[in-house]
Structure 1
């Protein structure tokens, strides 16, 4: 197909998708959120934009616009610019940790009110020229707005970084930045700090003979950057890193909230389980996922398994969220290490949600084999993780498994929707950089399951969620 046709097809995809969004908003008599105004998650327009049809339209715009840019811009310019993108996370972190987000917000909530870089620098004891340069680079990416030379104000994107606290409070107690917040800034700071530093040493970890073929979590790029042979989570436990451990906890709580809690109910047929079936949430944390299923499917029982310290928190969680489930015995909390033999038999479903991506194949195989040895022929294994799409068509795997084949992206987009799928690949490299682990493609899941005595029988792609479900049965 001629290049001109591709350009026009991409332009048409953008136009029709914009029309879809505008038509839906007009039907509700609401306007599209302004980039100039702070983000309001409670606004009606924001709720509409999370509807399935709106998410599809947004994905098409993002994918088409990104592909259009890749086509029309000089490849040299594209690659040179991409090689310098690392300055953006550096500036995001600097703006957050130096309290520039809150300083700008305190200057006034409206787009017509801003604050000069020299006044920002006075409040956080930084260099005014450097402060202006940091904010200007961010403003060029639509994070903050430069309303006149060296004068900046908050906008839709920068407001998401705001702790909501006063500058004075943050200066007096910087380690409380993330308390009583959405946790978004904690997540972003973890990305721009530990993960960002680790990513700088990805090539060294990838090519050095001592780490290139290693599956040890302590041979990660982050370990090279931090000059330590300590596992990241053990490093967090050090007294001098307690503030980073706290930040990590807020970041993980936020990442959980980014997924619709009811998404677990889509896909696998939980309602089809027999009366009093037992679902074991392996490595289930405090049991927040089990709670969602338990409320929706009243005829099944649960066992939530995790480490002792986590189960202590789980008792507190259930005592507050649903004490009647513990009292009735519908939900049991059990200390268990999933690298040891699974003690429970006659289990209907073993649930592994966001577990597999934490482990390289040898460790993941050990986890799955322990569950296989405890399984009956009727037991099902439900793994909930990112299913990393290929950037090409892959009929060989998808045609053999129920639900695996996804609707094709409209031409000429990449089959995986291109830039609209970026988050999945970013998260894959987060796992690589921080713990030498990974997200997996469907083909990888199939091989991993087969090597552990399981067969992937069905796949569920959940609308509005980055996570998919692989349902396996014993081989």
Structure 2
């Protein structure tokens, strides 16, 4: 449904008031309405200019700024700012090149101008000096970027059929490989490191399932927890949990949480993990789950990297480890609404499409996968305008 600029402005006022009151979903609604306002007033020619070269140039110049450490230099200059000439000297790049790069980054609100050819840092550019965000720029530009840029030609080459194979999709065409995305990452350690680093930033600042009011951890996990069970007192197993970002957040926000926390991922990932309040163990989730009778088995953005049949296989490895009537399966994923999904949802659908020939799923789709694996949904937890939901499932048959 389209809206007039006047209608969107009225909605922005209401969303702004909700944001001031720190209501859940208000920030996301402001973003949504902001993009809607731009779309309602920009000319078609401006839309093409924005998509065709303004945004690609912004991405390319952010990648360049990361390489030349321009964001660090801007941050170090403080409120005084720094000239393009001094930036060129310090970075070893051409002065005119730096000036034109910073002009565009200022025009697109990444940095700010404080005078003629003089620039100062912003909240955003300072964030880009942090490793997790800096690595995100490198990963998205170098790894995901070529897959998007080559997508039209790739789809044309396969006569616009739908790619469904992990080893034969847009990513393989762009990077000239037959390896699946994660196997390619393992073969390219620098990008594996940047991917894992960025995963800690992807959800930063967004509501999490461990926040108050999202998932009732005390009622659903702590109450009834058996510290002396045959599961050796394990309250949660994070399956395919990367570097343990979720477990650290869980422990930080629930410091009195009882029981053990276990992180599982591939050996290449686990070897780089610095444990902090949990045990890190190498595990292939296509093999039997070794931790028995844990209170919860948790998968965050794991299944959206795999096709339906593989998702069923992954879940079937967990099923025998679960204690009927006690263990819970927690799946933290995007659920695509039947109508009016937001751009973070559709853009993630496009990302997993180009990287793995996969797609995000609707609630009905998730129900089908879980049913095939021997589970049923107990409840789905989310928040207004949020991208991710938490699916709580249990064994279909409890003896």
Report TM bin, short chain.
Answer: 0.7 to 0.9
1:40 is matched with which residue?
none
Query: C-alpha displacement at 1:93, in angstroms?
Result: 0.8
Deviations 1:358-377 (CA, angstroms, capped at 9, x unpaired) = 22222212112333455565
Output aligned runs, 1:198-347, within 5 Å. 198-209=147-158, 212-238=161-187, 241-255=188-202, 257-258=204-205, 263=210, 266-267=214-215, 269-276=220-227, 278=231, 279-285=236-242, 289-290=246-247, 292=250, 295-298=255-258, 304-308=263-267, 310=269, 317=275, 321-322=276-277, 335-343=282-290, 346=293
Matching residue of 1:423: 344
Change (3 A) 1:153 1:426: same
Contact 2:25–2:384 under 8 Å retained in 1: no
Deviations 1:422-448 (A, max 9, x none): 333333333222333343232322232
Partner of 2:349, secondary structure, is: helix
Instruction: Give the superposed CA RMSD.
Output: 3.5
Ranges in structure 2 where 5+ consecutive residues have no aligned partner:
none
Cα distance, 1:285 vs structure 2 = 4.4
Q: Distance in 2 between matches of 1:2 and 1:354?
A: 32
> Secondary structure of the residue that 1:83 maps to in structure 2?
helix
Cα gap change, 1:209 to 1:377, in 2 (>3 Å): farther
Contact 1:270 1:297 in 2 (8 A): no
Instruction: Using the TM superposition, name which of 187-196 and 426-435 deviates more.
Output: 426-435
Contact between 1:260 and 1:464, CA under 8 Å: does it hold in 2? no
| 3-state secondary structure, aligned to 1:126 | coil
Q: Which residue of 1 aligns with 2:13?
A: 15
- Alignment partner of 1:72 is 2:45: no
Q: Match of 1:328?
A: none
Matches within 5 A, 1:23-422: 52-53=22-23, 56-84=25-53, 85-106=55-76, 108-110=77-79, 113-163=80-130, 178=131, 183-209=132-158, 212-238=161-187, 241-255=188-202, 257-258=204-205, 263=210, 266-267=214-215, 269-276=220-227, 278=231, 279-285=236-242, 289-290=246-247, 292=250, 295-298=255-258, 304-308=263-267, 310=269, 317=275, 321-322=276-277, 335-343=282-290, 346=293, 348-372=295-319, 374-375=321-322, 378=325, 379-390=327-338, 392=339, 415-416=340-341, 421-422=342-343
- Secondary structure of the residue aligned to 1:440 is coil
CA distance in 2: counterparts of 1:93 and 1:132, whole angstroms: 16
For the 8 Å contact 2:110–2:125, the answer to whether it is kept is: yes
Q: Using structure 2 for the length normalisation, give the TM-score.
A: 0.80
CA contact (8 A) 2:28 2:386 kept: no
Classify the secondary structure of the residue corresponding to 1:185: helix
Q: For residues 312 and 124 of structure 1, what CA distance do their matches in structure 2 show?
A: 34
CA shift in 2, pair 1:207/1:19, >3 Å? same
More displaced, 252-261 or 365-374? 252-261
Partner Cα separation in structure 2 for residue 17 and residue 352 of structure 1? 33
Q: Any conservation in 2 of the 1:263–1:465 contact (CA below 8 Å)?
A: no
2:379 to 449, 453, 458: 458
Distance (whole Å) between structure 1 residues aligned to residue 196 and residue 270 of structure 2? 16
Ranges in structure 1 where 5+ consecutive residues have no aligned partner: 25-51, 164-177, 323-330, 393-414
C-alpha contact (below 8 Å) 1:145/1:155 kept by paired residues: yes
The C-alpha deviation readout for 1:404-434, integer Å capped at 9, x for no partner, is: xxxxxxxxxxx54xxxx43333333332223
The CA deviation string for residues 317-351 of structure 1, in whole angstroms up to 9 with x for no partner, is: 1xxx34xxxxxxxx776543221234555555332
Equivalent residue number for residue 42 of structure 1: none
In structure 2, do the counterparts of structure 1 residues 264 and 354 end up closer, same or farther at CA, with 3 Å as the change threshold?
Answer: farther
How far did residue 200 of structure 1 move?
0.7
Q: CA deviation at 1:259?
A: 5.2
Provide the aligned length of Structure 1 versus Structure 2.
381
> Could you report, residue by residue, the CA deviation over 1:83-109 in whole angstroms, capped at 9, with x for unpaired residues?
333222112111221222233334x31
